[in-house]
Chains A and B, each alone.
Chain A
Amino acid sequence: MSAASIALNRFGLGNRPDQPVPADPKAWLTGQFAKYDPKPDAILAAPTSAGVSAELAAYFRDQRALREQAKAASPGAIPPRTDAMRAAAQFARRAGRQDYAGAIGARAQTALVTDTPFVERLVYFWANHFAVSADKLELTGLAGTLEFEAIRPHVLGKFGDMLGAVERHPAMLLYLDQAVSVGPDSVIGQKRGGKVGLNENLAREILELHTLGVRSGYTQADVTEFARAMTGWTVSGIGRAPGAKLAGTDGLPGDFLFVDAMHQPGDRTILGKVYPAGGVAQAQAVLDDVAMNPATATHLATKLARHFAGDSPPPAMVSRLQAAYLQSHGDLPTVYRAIIDSPEAWVETPAKFRTPWEWSIGAMRALGQKTVDAQAVTGLMTQLGQPVWKPGQPVGYDDIAASWAGSDAVMRRVEAAERFAQRAPTTIDARSLAPKLFPGALSPATTQALARAESQGQALALLLVAPEFQRR
């Protein structure tokens, strides 16, 4: 691959027919930092966590009222599930699916028209690093809002600020059960006895996935102590019982709340350091420390190097990124510049197999598409094996070829490519488009296949599944 093709494809999201090939690839990448827009039009119009939470709160309120009605109608008996309850549940699920698809549409729309594709790629990277999964009812609508509200504003800021925003976001607090975790010795813990208690899910994944990384030296005792420090971090108005009730009605639905009555009192010892009792500041102090821990720097540097330099991250590059991170106190643009300055990220052999999202966005950009049908993109991503914000696990989607280069996966891309090509404007000539997408990087085999295709449409389909298009 040429430097221009690497900048466009490995760092960017693939070229568009109306965009020039960058003359100075590195300057083209660093120049995007000043141009990046955290809230482009499509995102401004997308569902927000406040909006989704208000819908959810209304739904939970309706269900409670319907249960009360059913109880009053048949005193003493276990109230049956009524048609009204079922209808309300169905309505809530449909609303959640609409919000989910709407958010995916906004993400895709932004990707098609952006002038800062490198920064958009980094947004996806961090959203997957801090993965939530749109599986439960609450998460279906909220999953995308975490990327829009906690990742996008901080992608060019400090990692610690992004971390703090993510761990306070309702999607994360609900996804990893933090919203219902109660300190056993807190006011509510004492009052409710064995009915409520500690849940260590989020505390563990913060250490294992979000910051230090697995096997970096923390123990089960550190996890439990951190979980105690985190008690009280919850969401207003939308968690299922008992969380919603415990949190009270302070704030608007979906707001981050620190509920002192849920918080385990006392000092905590985590990774050998004592954190004095101090309400919300106690767990925040832990987050501040782990954000700047060298293990976190290594963990993040390794993942970033894997994303840009190949499935086996080069150790020298990892060290460089780690140093850039620590010296700049977690300043992300400094780390990104270190990536751009790393020769390992510019090796000519394609370093990565494109994920289904990268492949689909690359295809739509290549065809000059400027608008999307939100439902169609949502369905396509499911068919290609990477439903957006739905990895099923808090570790997010894998970032190695073995997870995406399956035989069935390649067949599906071929099927999808044929459909893309059938709907593409007939004015697009694959033979002249190809060198714009892969300047100085087109193989003779691909050039020949395009030249010999029986139609413009077939040539386009072949271009979309060519080896150059499958990798970056």
Chain B
Amino acid sequence: MLDRRSFIGTSALGLAAALAPRMAFAKAATDRRFIFIIQRGAADGLHIVAPVGDPAFAGARGAFAQDFATAPKLDATFALHPALVGVNALYGQKQALFAHAVASPYRDRSHFDGQNVLETGGASAYQLRDGWLNRMLGLLSPGEAKAIAIATAVPMALRGPHEVASYAPSALPQASDDLLQRVSMLYAGDSQLHGLWSEALATRNLTGDLAADNGKTAAATGALAAKLLAPADGARIAMIETGGWDTHADQRGRLAAQLKGLDAMIGALQTGLGPVWADTMVLVATEFGRTVAVNGTGGTDHGTGACAMLLGGAVKGGRVIADWPGLGQGALYENRDLRATMALDGFIAGATAAHFGLSGGRAMAALFPGARGGKPVTGLA
């Protein structure tokens, strides 16, 4: 089926040129699901996937290193935080992959600018006005370009020209059908509210009695996302926001609790998606990493290089990919942070391209237009 855009493409560029995107669409027309879990607050990658084989690790991290004394080893260099029990099992099944020493192009240490770069895919903060996940919808076939934010409003990565719904469980009583109908009429002449309202009604029909669910815990959020993604006519792309990663103090206890929640969320996604998990890719990423040294209050401060994860049946997992820069003297970025040796942009573009059967170059250009000369990472799915 041709929509107007591909019809214009056919007449303007001729049949041969038109075939390429259509093939891309045809290949994209699968049951693939993609979920982006954003870790707001700068998650400490060194305390999640710890480079225990780095000779400088134990010295730099002091008591933090004790958390990895009996932690599962991922390979000769890295060990996984023991709270990530389910993720470790996925790693054993080759359904979890970690990329370490990664960073977006952002090199300062503001959470909010860093998150803006992570979500817009721009080369610097506030350079782009829409999000890379929204632009990705433009690369998918129209039937597949359905996305939902598990939140009351749409986060930056999903904002842009393509319409995106948002949903979070509500404890408010459902409004009567008659009122809903009259609101539809009331909003008919208001383009912004009409668009939002249409999305809200469509999502309401899909979720049925979801409002009864308790979405307060991480597992419930994962289960909710799975419910919205699992049906054949459900959303294909979802974004989940997580906070609480800004561990300036008491990091060991706080991070363990955070990771336990993340592990439960991923477990609930896997359970809820059932057979669809085989076609699913979950990306977990944060705006930047944290200082290598532990600060004076049992925590870490804003840093640079971080760790990202890919999870799901569609992932070629069971490995940690990193051009490891080391934690020794002189190896650190500005004498304090893990140096970034892999572009998060290229990692995300490579992962999503492989997942949806798009060309890496096309994904790179659309999602990260400012990354001149940036190469997508290949072989991730």
Contacts and interface: CB of A to CB of B under 8 A. Distances in A.
30 contacts: A176-B248, A182-B296, A196-B296, A204-B109, A214-B110, A215-B108, A220-B334, A384-B152, A392-B244, A393-B41, A393-B243, A395-B111, A402-B153, A406-B196, A407-B197, A407-B203, A408-B167, A408-B168, A408-B170, A410-B197, A411-B204, A415-B173, A415-B174, A418-B175, A418-B179, A445-B189, A449-B182, A465-B186, A467-B186, A467-B187
A198 B187 contact: no
Contacts of B297: 177, 180-181, 196-197, 199
A405 B196 contact: yes
B42 to A, nearest CB: 11
A415 B172 contact: yes
B235 interface: no
A415 B185 contact: no
Interface string A170-190: 000000110011101000010
B172 A385 contact: no
Interface of B: 40-41, 62, 108-113, 125, 149, 151-154, 156, 159, 165-168, 170-176, 178-180, 182-183, 185-190, 192-193, 196-200, 203-204, 243-244, 246, 248-250, 295-297, 299, 301-302, 334
A408 B182 contact: no
Given A383-B171, A414-B175, A416-B172, A408 B109 contact: no
Interface residues of A, number: 59
A410 B200 CA distance: 8
A181 B249 CA distance: 10
Contacts of A302: none
A199 B296 contact: yes
Given A199-B249, A395-B112, A215 B189 contact: no
Nearest to A356: B152
Specify which of B152, B168, B175, B334 lies most central, judged by the most chain A CB atoms within 10 Å of its CB: B152
Q: Nearest 9 pairs between A and B by C-beta?
A: A197-B296, A406-B153, A385-B152, A407-B199, A407-B200, A415-B172, A406-B166, A411-B200, A408-B166
Contacts of B174: 415
Given A198-B295, A467-B193, 6 more contacts: A199-B295, A395-B112, A408-B151, A449-B186, A458-B179, A462-B183
A334 interface: no
Given A407-B200, A462-B182, A419 B172 contact: yes
A201 B334 contact: no
Given A220-B334, A402-B154, A446-B186, A408 B165 contact: yes
Contacts of A461: 175, 179
Nearest to A457: B179
A181 B166 contact: no
Nearest to A396: B112
A379 interface: yes
A11 interface: no
Contacts of B203: 407-408
Contacts of B111: 393, 395
Contacts, number: 164
A465 B174 CA distance: 15
Contact of B170 (A176, A240, A383): A383
Interface hub of A180, A409, A410, A458 (most chain B Cβ within 10 A):
A410
A465 B192 contact: no
A69 interface: no
B195 to A, nearest CB: 8
B178 A454 contact: yes
A403 interface: yes
Contacts of B250: 240
A316 to B, nearest CB: 20
Contacts of B190: 445, 467
B125 A215 contact: yes
Interface majority SS (helix, strand, loop, mixed), chain A: helix
A217 to B, nearest CB: 12
A383 B153 CA distance: 12
Contact of A412 (B41, B170, B244): B170
Contacts of A462: 179, 182-183, 186
A411 B205 CA distance: 12
A180 B249 contact: yes
| Most chain A CB atoms below 10 A, which of B40, B156, B178, B297 | B297
A200 interface: yes
A407 B125 contact: no
A385 to B, nearest CB: 3
A393 B125 CA distance: 18
A325 interface: no
A414 B248 contact: no
A208 interface: yes
Nearest to B116: A214
Interface string A201-222: 1001000100000110000100
- Residue with the highest number of chain B CB atoms closer than 10 Å, among A198, A383, A407, A443: A407
A407 B186 contact: no
Nearest to A455: B178
Contacts of A274: none
A453 interface: yes
Contacts of B113: 214-215
Nearest to B243: A392
B152 A408 contact: yes
A252 interface: no
B180 A414 contact: yes
A404 B153 contact: yes
A456 interface: no
A402 to B, nearest CB: 6
B301 A409 contact: no
A360 interface: no
Contacts of A411: 170, 175, 200, 204
Contacts of B159: 402
Contacts of A414: 175, 179-180, 183
Contact of A201 (B112, B182, B301): B301
A246 B40 CA distance: 31
Interface string A3-37: 00000000000000000000000000000000000
A199 B302 contact: no
A42 B156 CA distance: 38
A184 B295 CA distance: 11
Given A199-B296, A458-B179, A410 B173 contact: no
Nearest to A214: B110
A470 interface: yes
Given A201-B301, A406-B196, A467-B193, A458 B182 contact: yes
A181 B149 CA distance: 38
Residue picked from B41, B174, B197, B249, most chain A C-beta under 10 Å? B249
Contacts of B186: 445-446, 449, 462, 465-467
A208 B296 CA distance: 22
Interface in A412-461: 412, 414-419, 443, 445-446, 449, 453-454, 458, 461
Contacts of B183: 414, 462, 465
Nearest to A184: B296
